[in-house]
Amino acid sequence: MRKKIVAGNWKMNKTLDEALALTSEIAGMVKDEVRSDTTIVLCTPFPYLVPVLRVLGDGSRIAVGAQNCSQHEWGAYTGETSALMLASLKAQYVIIGHSERRQYFGEDGKLLAAKVDIALRSGLTPIFCCGEPLEVREKGGHQDLVGEQVEASLYHLDEAQIKKVVIAYEPVWAIGTGKTATSAQAQEMHAFIRSQLAAKYGQATASDITILYGGSVNASNARELFSSPDVDGGLVGGASLKSREFVEIIKACSTPASP
Ligand code: PEP
User: Does residue 15 lie in a domain region?
Assistant: yes
CA 186 to chain centre: 15
pLDDT (tens digit, 0 to 9) for every residue of the chain, 259 residues total? 899 999 999 999 999 999 999 999 999 999 999 988 899 999 999 999 999 999 999 999 999 999 999 999 999 999 999 999 999 999 999 999 999 999 999 999 999 999 999 999 999 999 999 999 999 999 999 999 999 999 999 999 999 999 999 999 999 999 988 888 899 999 999 999 999 999 999 999 999 999 999 999 999 999 999 999 999 999 999 999 999 999 999 999 986 544 4
User: Does residue 259 lie in a domain region?
Assistant: no
Mutate to test the pocket of ligand 1, among 104, 235, 246, 248 (most ligand atoms within 8 A of CB): 235
Q: Are 233 and 211 in contact (CB under 8 A)?
A: no
Backbone phi, psi, residue 83, to 5°:
-65, -35
Task: Say how many Å lie between the CA of residue 202 and the centre of ligand 1.
Answer: 31
Mutate to test the pocket of ligand 1, among 98, 216, 242 (most ligand atoms within 8 A of CB): 216
Q: Which pLDDT score, from 0 to 100, does residue 156 have?
A: 97
Task: Say how many Å lie between the CA of residue 236 and the centre of ligand 1.
Answer: 5
177 Cα nearest atom in ligand 1:
10
| Ligand 1 pocket residues where CB is under 6 Å | 9, 11, 98, 170, 175-176, 214-217, 235-239
| Distances 196 to 4, 96, 203, 206 between C-alpha atoms, Å | 21, 20, 10, 8
User: Does residue 128 lie in a domain region?
Assistant: yes
Task: Say how many Å lie between the CA of residue 76 and the centre of ligand 1.
Answer: 32
Per-residue burial over 48-85, b if 16 or more Cβ lie within 10 Å, else e, is bbeebbebbeeebebbbbbbbbbbeeeeeeeeebbbbb
| Distances 92 to 35, 53, 120, 165, 213 between C-alpha atoms, Å | 22, 11, 10, 12, 20
Q: Which pLDDT score, from 0 to 100, does residue 256 have?
A: 54
Expressed as residue numbers, the domain containing 180 is 5-253
Q: Can you tell me the distance from the alpha carbon of 39 to that of 21, in angstroms, rounded to the nearest whole number?
A: 21
User: Does residue 258 lie in a domain region?
Assistant: no
Please tell me the total count of domains within the chain. 1
Q: Which pLDDT score, from 0 to 100, does residue 37 have?
A: 86
Helix, coil or strand: residue 167: strand
Q: Which pLDDT score, from 0 to 100, does residue 155 have?
A: 98
Report which of 79, 86, 85 is spatially closest to residue 65, judged by C-alpha positions. 86
We report the CATH number of the domain holding residue 47 as 3.20.20.70
What dihedral angle (degrees, nearest 10) is formed by the CA atoms of 258, 245, 64, 30?
Answer: -40
Task: Fill in the amino acid letter for 134.
Answer: L
Tell me the residue length of the chain: 259
pTM of the predicted model as reported, rounded to 2 decimal places? 0.96
Mutate to test the pocket of ligand 1, among 6, 170, 173, 242 (most ligand atoms within 8 A of CB): 170
99 Cα nearest atom in ligand 1:
3
Q: Can you tell me the distance from the alpha carbon of 176 to that of 11, in angstroms, rounded to the nearest whole number?
A: 11
Calculate ∠ Cα 79-84-88, nearest 5°: 105
Q: Whose CA is nearest to atom 8 of ligand 1?
A: 237
236 Cα nearest atom in ligand 1:
8
* CA contacts within 13 A on the Cβ side of 27: 20
Q: Whose CA is nearest to atom 2 of ligand 1?
A: 237
Q: Can you tell me the distance from the alpha carbon of 176 to that of 237, in angstroms, rounded to the nearest whole number?
A: 7
Q: Which pLDDT score, from 0 to 100, does residue 17 have?
A: 98
Catalytic residues: 98, 170
User: Does residue 53 lie in a domain region?
Assistant: yes
